[in-house]
Amino acid sequence: MNAEEFRRHGREMVDYIADYYENIRDRDVMHRVRPGYLTSMMREEAPEAPETWEDIFKDVEDVVMPGVTHWHSPRFHGYFAAGSSYPSILGDMLGDAIGCIGFSWATSPSCTEIEMVTTDWLGKMLDLPEEFLHQHHGPGGGVIQSTASETVFLCLLAARTKQINRLREQNPNLQNMEVISKLVGYSSDQANSSVHRAGLLGEVKMRKLPSDENYSLKGETLRATIQEDRAKGLLPFFVCASLGTTGTCAFDNLEEIGPICQEEGIWLHIDAAYAGSAFVCPEFRSYMKGVEYAETFSMNPHKWMLCNFDLSVMWIKDRALLVDAFNVDPVYLKHQDQGKVPDYRHWQIPLGRRFRSLKLWFVIRSYGVSGIRQYIRKHVSLAKEFESMVSQDDRFEIVAEVIMGLVCFRLKGPNRMTELLHDEIVTDGRIYIIPAIARDVYYLRLAVCAQATTSDDIRFTFNVFLECTERVLGKFNEKNGVNYRPMIDIDGPLPKYVTPITTDVVEDHTSKKM
């Protein structure tokens, strides 16, 4: 492909992407394929001769799209938002075109310095303490990682190294594994699974501590557990506090946890992967009170701030705790300006790194702080709309307080009823939603995810829930011999908060061979 062909086909791809987003409601949100669908459509060997771009591009729609779950559909409500926007896509395009491997300042100064500027911008937008900013001219600063999972692991390793070094200063004959075998870290029982995976990878014990009635980790629980573990000869060294848990969007109590970590010399990391974006809005900052006690803080603009995956931002108060822990500095990586600016290879697990800051730079400049706040507030408002609809139907109950863009709810009665409802929704296929379990209660999570989601989409989704609920209750009561009368007449007029919908015909994509 030469430059002229690239220009022509590039315009074609941009048009395709724009059409994809603008018409995404016309696509089934869930794939309708089975494992191995694509293998049955493809040759067993790679093509010997080059194929035309026209043939390749045609297969995007014929081969790729049938196996896509459309995360940016307004009817996708699983997990949390997967950020996307046109400025972010353009940032990725330019970063891919430049193609620098920005492990040091010298390899591409703009790659490092735009990252420094944008992480400072974002830190100020969240009202983080000055110690986390490069502009503070202290030892701290921000860095872009791939995911919050990698960040947790990185921080745990740095905390582990800090603890080993401290103890070996007191006893030089102490072996690393002697210390590691006694280390113990903590999180709430609502923390993301990546926290405990970090413990497995770092070969340290991680304890899940019970949360309170609001699914929040309290200081008294942490303090009691630390005392218990110290009495056993263990070495508490790391706490991962969650702001906006995956299951219920709960918030650990930093104002209680923080002082305990400070007193005990424990590294406090704050995982605000989803909810961190909301702190751009001043009305949500009360949930991050106590952030000043943290050694590290992270959030994912690729979740709720219009940036495409992958882009997770981490701030640290003392970069030396990363640099000293992971510094391997052969002569071929050094440069004459070393020490004047960050060499981000020391701030991460991989050596190489992409020019990810470009998409954050494009997004912040394109939307402005006010535009990002408007976007966050719109999603919160839509979640409140859905909560109101659910609350009007006495067959449902809300499981956790609706604070941001997540609504957790269930059918009243045994867990099996909600399980059957989820099965019915999956079979129906018009919306995408996932279940969760907290304290043996099975419930459904509705997250407002897509940039294009509107009140009409929320009503559409609630209508699907109502229809699926009617079917489930009808089948359940018929099976158990109960005289069932539906709450609404499916064939009659729907309540004012429900709009009629239709089921599209599912197209069979499995017969084509190439």
Q: What is the pLDDT of residue 70?
A: 94
Q: Which two tokens stand for residue 232?
A: 């056993």
Query: What's the confidence (pLDDT) of residue 481?
Result: 53
Per the CB < 8 A criterion, the answer to whether 407 and 386 are in contact is yes
Residues 156, 116: Cα–Cα separation, whole Å: 23
For residues 399 and 444, give the distance between their C-alpha atoms in angstroms, rounded to a whole number: 9
pLDDT on residue 336: 72
Nearest C-alpha neighbor of 132 from the set 333, 335, 279, 350: 279
- How far, in Å, CA of 473 to CA of 341, rounded? 63
pLDDT at residue number 494: 39
In this predicted structure, what is the pLDDT of residue 23?
A: 94
How far apart (Å, rounded) are the C-alpha atoms in residues 455 and 462? Answer: 11
- For the chain, the structural domain boundaries read 1-84+369-514, 100-355
Pair type for strands 296-299 and 267-271: parallel
Query: Of the candidates 215, 209, 212, which has an alpha carbon nearest to the alpha carbon of residue 196?
Result: 209
Q: Look up the CATH architecture of domain 1-84+369-514.
A: Alpha-Beta Complex (3.90)
Residue 169's pLDDT is: 85
Q: Determine the topology of domain 100-355 in CATH.
A: Aspartate Aminotransferase; domain 2 (3.40.640)
pLDDT in tens, the chain (514 residues): 899 999 999 999 999 999 999 999 999 998 888 888 888 888 888 888 999 999 999 999 999 999 999 999 999 999 998 899 999 999 999 999 999 888 887 788 998 999 999 999 999 999 999 999 998 888 999 999 999 999 999 999 999 999 999 998 888 888 888 889 999 999 999 999 999 999 999 999 999 999 999 999 999 999 999 999 999 999 999 999 999 999 999 999 999 999 999 999 999 999 999 999 999 999 999 999 999 999 999 999 999 999 999 999 999 999 989 888 777 766 667 777 677 788 888 788 888 899 999 999 999 999 999 999 999 999 999 999 999 999 999 999 999 999 999 999 999 999 999 999 999 999 999 999 999 999 899 999 999 999 999 999 999 999 999 999 999 988 766 665 544 444 434 344 434 433 333 333 333 333 334 4
366 Cβ neighbours under 8 A, 6+ residues apart: 85, 87
Tell me what pLDDT residue 246 has: 93
Size of the chain in residues: 514
pLDDT at 327: 74
What single letter denotes the amino acid at residue 290?
Answer: G
pLDDT of residue 376: 96
Tell me the angle at which helices 219-231 and 254-264 cross, rounded to the nearest 10 degrees: 30
Provide the residue type at 62 as one letter.
Answer: D
